[in-house]
Structure formats: structure tokens, C-alpha cells
């Protein structure tokens, strides 16, 4: 049992500031899905047992980011590899392995956000420390929080393992608790600065499946709205150039975005290379507002020119569907090789034929993949109707 005396009870000042940052106000109830969506896996020992159950609501962005780290754990953790016969068996974990993966993934994300600082984990006690009032609307979670300060690494891992039931309890607030953990670990003031948004802006946003700011917090350690590499200074002749802090380091898990809504702020904005080319071949994707995770099982995919010529890519829709596709970059690589040879040769040989032929992009998922592999041929091992269904805004 957790010793709550080792934690610090939340104060009204902190609770109000936290709710305002995350939900925009403390005087009204937060979006209800956050107080009743836990971390829940699909049926153990079955196909897609690695997958989190992700209802289509505002928590899906956060769940997708955690899902990406869970896949990283199952596919590329050495201990898992040593006791497996291949990724097919690895991705059918039993219940104990599911819990182990969740603990490891949540801990890794908190360590990433903390950088070299302390990790903060919040857990709800039985007692409420803040009364219901005109300035604070109780949500049955925030006013009961105890805040625990932990050292990065093993101490955090052991604490999360001991208390994982708070995050997985059926109909419980697991996703909200973890979001609060991330905000406290980043620190409320820094998170507010990260948003770099007009006064009144808040972390969760009004998007159906959740804000990209939350995804960026989990992937990069900062809740920045900027997807570019490094720092860009924006200004004009009449004003000082203001820094916009994007992605400062190459990410472990990447991000791909495709939007077709002209009113969406991300239509003409693409992630920089530190997000598009992560250190592991796993990407959270936001495709026409719907989150998913794309992945490959070869850890050297993004470090090997030949491996990237032709490979299989898997797309987990976060609604319980898996789509397999073959990505063929061979004609692109052949063209690049030809241009290189042409520059170093006096022979004017004709370029290789364009193998793209009559194919054209017909689904949002194809367009999403082409934001990373621009000229690739994509062969889906699924019916086209499935692709249309997944990204239908009315489904």
C-alpha cells in the first residue's frame, strides 16, 4: 500500500493553476472522458494484445503516444528479444508482460520529460483537500492528489510498478493522472511557456482526439506547438524577432502529420527531420485528425540505405485495426543512383523509367505515408474500403 505521508497534498492554488493550464478553467468540470479513461490493453495472448484500447475521445492523442513507446519496448528492448522467437510472438504478450510494458513505457516518458531533473508522480487519495466553490469545481480527482517527488530511473520505475493499478483501474482516471504527472514533471510554469500561445490557451484543446501539444510533450519533453528543428526567430522590421522553440533533439519516437482541412493550422506545416526520422522506426501519426501509430520491426531501418529501399510498414489505428503495407522506394533510389552516375560519367544514358505509372494517392493514409517517403510506391494488404472507413470523420 502506498504511504501517502511521503507525498505532498495538493493545494487550492496549485489545483486551480493545474486545471486552468490543462483544461482552460477550474470553475467548470473538465472534459468527462479524462476522468474515466484508464490504460487498458486488448485481450492478452491474442493478436493485437500489445494494443491499448483507445476510445475516440480527447485522450486518444496521449494514448497513441504511450502506445508508440509500448511498441518500442516490445520490439526493441533487448530483454524482450532474448526471450522471444520473433516479433510475432513478442506482440502477443500475456497480462504480466502487458503490465511490464506499460510500467516501462510510462517511466521512460517521465524520464524523458524530466531530463536531468526530478520526476513527479501524482496519485489520488481518499481525502479531498479542496472544497467545491465558485472558483473550483470538483472533479473527484484533482482535489485528492498527492504529489510524489522521485529520482529518475530505478526509483521512478519501482514506484510506477507498485502503483500501476491507479492508472489501469477500470473506468478510472488513468490518462488524466498520467497527463498530470507529465505536467508536474515538466513543471506547470514551463509547460505554460512551452505552449507559446495567447492568454487563455490550454493544453487539452478542443480537438476530438486530443491536442498535438500533449503528443509533443510526451515525445519531446516539451509541450511546444512548433514542429520544426531547433529554434526559429520570427519577427519583422518593426518588431523584435521572437524565438519559436521547436524540436531540440532527434526523437526516439517520431511524428507524421497529414491534414486535408484548409482551416487546420497543420495543413502547410510538417514535422522536421528530428520527428520524421527518429532513432527507432516508430511514428505517432495524426491523419485528418485521427491518431494512430506506424512502425517497422527492423531497428536499423532508418540507418540503412538498402533497408529503406523496400520494407513492410504496419499501421495500428488505435481503434483496434492493423493495416500492413509494403513501402517501395527502389525507383527513387535508382533515380538517385543514376543522377550520381551521370554527374561522374561522360555518357548521356537515359534516366530509368518512372515506375510510378498510373498510380495516384486515393486515401488519407497514403498521403500521410508520402509526407515521409515522398516518391514511394505503397501496396496495401487490405481492402480499400477499410482505409476509407478508418479516416471517415463520421465514424
* Cα within 13 Å of Cα(33), Cβ side: 16
Q: Where are the domains of the chain?
A: 1-212, 226-231+244-395
The bridge status of strand 282-287 relative to strand 290-295 is antiparallel
Closest CA to 141 of 127, 129, 126, 124: 124
143, containing H or E segment: none
Beta strands in 192-304 (DSSP E): 231-234, 242-245, 254-258, 282-287, 290-295
Q: Cα angle at 324 between 82 and 273, to 5 degrees?
A: 80
What is the predicted pLDDT for the residue at 260? 82
- Helices 60-76 and 174-186 pack at an angle, to 10 degrees, of 80
Q: Cα angle at 348 between 344 and 350, to 5 degrees?
A: 115
The 8-class DSSP code of residue 164 comes to T
Return the number of other C-beta atoms located less than 10 Å from residue 373's C-beta: 17
C-alpha cell of residue 306:
538498402
Closest CA to 105 of 150, 59, 70: 70
Q: Are 166 and 174 in contact (CB under 8 A)?
A: yes
What is the full per-residue pLDDT of the chain (395 aa) written as tens digits?
677 778 899 999 999 999 999 999 999 999 899 999 999 999 999 999 999 999 889 999 999 999 999 999 999 986 766 655 677 788 999 999 999 999 999 999 999 999 989 999 999 999 999 999 999 999 999 999 999 999 999 999 999 999 999 999 999 999 999 999 999 999 999 999 999 877 768 999 888 899 999 999 999 999 999 999 999 888 765 666 788 899 999 999 999 999 886 655 555 678 999 999 999 999 999 999 999 999 999 999 999 888 999 999 999 987 888 999 999 998 655 554 444 455 444 444 444 444 443 344 478 999 999 999 998 999 998 766 666 666 665 44
pTM of the model: 0.89
C-alpha cell of residue 178:
498520467
Measured distance CA(51)–CA(47) in Å, rounded: 9
Amino acid at each position: 500500500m502506498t504511504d501517502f505521508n511521503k507525498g505532498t497534498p495538493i493545494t487550492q492554488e496549485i489545483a486551480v493553476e493545474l486545471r486552468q493550464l490543462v483544461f482552460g478553467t477550474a470553475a467548470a468540470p473538465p472534459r468527462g472522458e479524462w476522468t474515466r479513461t484508464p490504460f487498458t490493453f486488448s485481450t492478452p495472448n491474442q493478436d493485437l494484445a500489445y494494443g491499448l484500447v483507445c476510445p475516440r475521445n480527447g485522450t486518444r492523442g496521449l494514448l497513441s503516444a504511450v502506445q508508440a513507446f509500448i511498441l518500442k519496448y516490445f520490439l526493441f528492448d533487448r530483454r524482450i528479444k532474448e526471450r522471444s522467437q520473433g516479433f510475432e510472438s513478442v506482440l502477443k504478450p500475456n497480462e504480466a508482460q502487458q503490465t511490464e510494458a506499460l510500467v516501462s513505457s510510462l517511466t521512460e516518458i517521465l524520464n524523458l520529460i524530466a531530463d536531468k531533473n526530478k520526476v513527479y508522480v501524482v496519485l489520488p487519495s481518499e481525502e479531498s483537500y479542496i472544497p467545491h466553490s465558485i472558483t473550483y469545481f470538483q472533479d473527484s480527482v484533482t482535489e485528492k492528489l498527492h504529489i510524489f517527488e522521485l529520482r529518475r530511473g530505478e526509483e521512478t520505475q519501482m514506484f510506477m510498478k507498485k502503483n500501476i493499478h491507479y492508472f489501469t483501474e477500470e473506468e478510472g482516471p488513468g490518462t488524466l493522472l498520467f497527463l498530470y504527472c507529465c505536467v508536474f514533471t515538466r513543471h506547470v510554469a514551463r509547460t505554460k511557456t512551452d505552449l507559446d500561445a495567447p492568454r487563455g490557451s490550454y493544453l487539452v484543446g478542443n480537438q476530438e482526439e486530443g491536442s498535438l501539444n500533449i503528443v509533443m510533450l510526451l515525445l519531446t519533453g516539451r509541450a511546444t506547438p512548433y514542429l520544426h528543428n531547433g529554434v526559429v526567430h520570427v519577427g519583422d522590421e518593426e518588431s523584435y524577432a521572437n524565438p519559436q522553440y521547436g524540436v531540440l533533439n532527434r526523437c526516439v519516437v517520431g511524428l507524421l502529420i497529414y491534414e486535408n482541412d484548409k482551416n487546420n493550422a497543420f495543413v502547410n506545416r510538417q514535422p522536421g527531420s528530428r520527428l520524421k526520422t527518429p532513432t527507432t522506426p516508430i511514428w505517432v501519426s495524426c491523419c485528418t485528425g485521427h491518431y494512430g501509430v506506424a512502425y517497422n520491426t527492423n531497428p536499423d531501418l532508418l540507418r540503412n540505405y538498402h533497408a529503406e529501399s523496400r520494407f513492410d510498414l504496419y499501421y495500428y489505428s488505435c481503434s483496434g485495426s492493423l493495416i500492413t503495407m509494403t513501402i517501395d522506394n527502389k525507383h527513387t533510389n535508382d533515380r538517385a543512383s543514376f543522377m550520381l552516375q551521370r554527374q561522374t560519367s561522360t555518357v548521356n544514358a537515359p534516366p530509368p523509367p518512372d515506375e510510378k505509372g498510373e498510380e495516384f494517392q486515393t486515401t488519407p493514409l497514403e498521403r500521410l505515408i508520402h509526407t515521409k517517403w515522398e516518391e514511394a510506391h505503397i501496396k496495401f494488404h487490405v481492402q480499400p474500403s477499410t482505409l476509407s472507413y478508418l479516416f471517415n470523420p463520421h465514424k
